[in-house]
Structure 1
């Protein structure tokens, strides 16, 4: 499998800087720490790799399809092997470096989430790679929007919002600078803001007028956006509340079959999130039990008295019937 570090070493410019401390120490078992550290570096490389590709497109250069394809293959293969750790990084990272670079982390995160939905839907490896490629470029049209509008720290005016909506049109135009893009990529770029009830844009398509990949990317990118801060919104919604919002408030916007897959593959208590147990202890979810997503494996951070445990302590809630999650917690409130 191609290593991103090898690709980036050949093309890294002055924008790249080592950024230590991007992820908190969440696991005490040595082997898992090493795996997480290695995956953290891979994740950072994914965001940097996409940033470099987008820089080339912004400069008007033609980009070889393998640059996107190799990134999609890495994401796909990691998810197929074990999706827990990569999904945990999605929930830990908002963006790398400067706030205005949120687009690149958003695109990588959305691609991980969308590809995971495709995996849960039974897609083949080639289908997953095409879905991942499409997800990585879904917001490419933002490159043609003004930085002032994208990074505005307050609510957009009507005119500004109408300009932002044009990114679905601009994106299709910019895809011509990437050689060999699959047809599904153009569909996703153009349709990922369409909604099955006809309330979306740019064409107010309904139901089956929207491609399946576009329906998947639509729910993935909305979930990613509301669980991470943005220039105009510093706060984020915790995963539990985000899942609830999508199911209760946005249920008419997304295809029922996609929502079902979403609920089965995106836990309201994903790896990396914090929970309060009925014992009074606070723990961090380290793994999701696929057959019982509401009863994950939790590592205790603070016991009922508010003190860190003397020894590492993990509880598999699927095997501890008397221990339950009282509520999800926001890490910022701890």
Structure 2
């Protein structure tokens, strides 16, 4: 997929960005053949799951030190309106496209939005928020995998809507993938097909996001190259965000470790590598114990030395001295290193 999507400099308007993306993007590759979509009406999506998520708190964003972007909230608001559109047969594709173009341009300039999306908020139950987070992360991984132009926006759109078929299932956002109804990707895909998505591949990515490289996924047991690349990206990110969800027994560090140890044959190596390039072995927000005995929180990964991220010393923050906590770039401290990841209070 050729095309250089000009996500552009900060001064370029969204309208201009959309024109550049559409003008330069070549037709996407033919989507992989997926299982036939269901023709029966999808279940009505229940409003509570898609209610607007609570505001992001500054405490939750301590890892970045920046004010939260409004892009995540904008995506949540668009996706949260999906229940009222199920019967109307229409979806606001243009506002979604503009927001995703804005997100893509922001991600190209800084990693802050990616880290915000990666950090699950305490008690986060909203399926719409889960969609928005996965969509933002998918844009970043897609760019790393050389997906651009309309294809990258199509990936983001699929990320915003891939689990709509779970809307009628209470607590769906908290269920493990193996506990989900195996026909829900087809319900989601059929609903999106009726909304006439603007780019190819969106329906296939949604229908196949639970298919796995080894052929043991669902709903059709498709494997390897027959699975759309966008579906593989969404499947991995859906898995990662569920594993790393705040309040679960696992944190980001354990989620990465489990994917590497237990699920490496479920996803292609290049997609896993793209995720690891962003989240590292110690993702932002991970609590760690240094060899000095001090506790620290990971602030930012080092791509070329994933075991030596930027950290903030928690003892400095908890001492209440009024001074800013010390921050260390562990690539510059050869005698200080991470001994282990730890939980809160350890």
Answering whether residue 321 of structure 2 is matched by residue 294 of structure 1, we say no
Aligned to 2:172: 150
CA contact (8 A) 1:137 1:185 kept: no
Deviation of residue 76 (structure 1)? Answer: 1.4
Paired residues in the alignment total 298
Distance of aligned partners of 1:309 and 1:193 in 2 relative to their CA distance in 1, 3 Å threshold: farther
Answering whether residue 248 of structure 2 is matched by residue 235 of structure 1, we say yes
Answering whether residue 242 of structure 2 is matched by residue 225 of structure 1, we say yes
Distance of aligned partners of 1:309 and 1:251 in 2 relative to their CA distance in 1, 3 Å threshold: farther
Distance of aligned partners of 1:308 and 1:245 in 2 relative to their CA distance in 1, 3 Å threshold: farther
Of 184, 197, 205, 1:180 maps to: 197
Structure 2: tracts of 5 or more residues without a match: 1-12, 16-50
Deviation of residue 137 (structure 1)? Answer: 1.3
Distance of aligned partners of 1:121 and 1:296 in 2 relative to their CA distance in 1, 3 Å threshold: same
Deviation of residue 68 (structure 1)? Answer: 2.3
Aligned to 2:62: 26
Aligned to 2:210: 193
Distance of aligned partners of 1:19 and 1:283 in 2 relative to their CA distance in 1, 3 Å threshold: same
SS in 1 for 2:289: strand
Distance of aligned partners of 1:77 and 1:172 in 2 relative to their CA distance in 1, 3 Å threshold: same
Distance of aligned partners of 1:91 and 1:259 in 2 relative to their CA distance in 1, 3 Å threshold: closer
Deviation of residue 184 (structure 1)? Answer: 1.1
- The CA RMSD over aligned residues, in Å, is 3.0
- CA offsets, 1:52-88, max 9 Å, x none? 2x233345441131132123222212211112x2232
SS in 2 for 1:93: coil
Aligned to 1:90: 117
**Which structure is higher in RCO with an 8 Å CA cutoff and minimum separation 6?**
2
1:119-130 residue pairs with structure 2 within 5 A?
119-130=143-154
Aligned to 1:263: 276
Deviation of residue 220 (structure 1)? Answer: 1.0
Aligned to 1:12: none
Deviation of residue 316 (structure 1)? Answer: 0.6
Answering whether residue 125 of structure 2 is matched by residue 114 of structure 1, we say no
Deviation of residue 295 (structure 1)? Answer: 1.2
Deviation of residue 18 (structure 1)? Answer: 6.8
Distance in 2, Cα, partners of 1:94 & 1:134: 22
Of 69, 73, 82, 2:101 maps to: 73
Distance in 2, Cα, partners of 1:168 & 1:283: 40
Answering whether residue 224 of structure 2 is matched by residue 212 of structure 1, we say no
Deviates more, 1:118-127 or 1:278-287: 118-127
Answering whether residue 77 of structure 2 is matched by residue 48 of structure 1, we say yes
CA contact (8 A) 1:276 1:329 kept: yes
Distance of aligned partners of 1:20 and 1:180 in 2 relative to their CA distance in 1, 3 Å threshold: closer
Distance in 2, Cα, partners of 1:170 & 1:181: 19
CA contact (8 A) 1:63 1:177 kept: no
Deviation of residue 236 (structure 1)? Answer: 4.2
Answering whether residue 91 of structure 2 is matched by residue 63 of structure 1, we say yes
1:158-173 residue pairs with structure 2 within 5 A?
161=179, 164-173=181-190
Which TM-score applies when normalising by structure 2?
0.76
Distance in 2, Cα, partners of 1:155 & 1:64: 30
- CA offsets, 1:109-142, max 9 Å, x none? 1112222211222322433222111211111222
- Structure having the larger proportion of residues in helix: 1
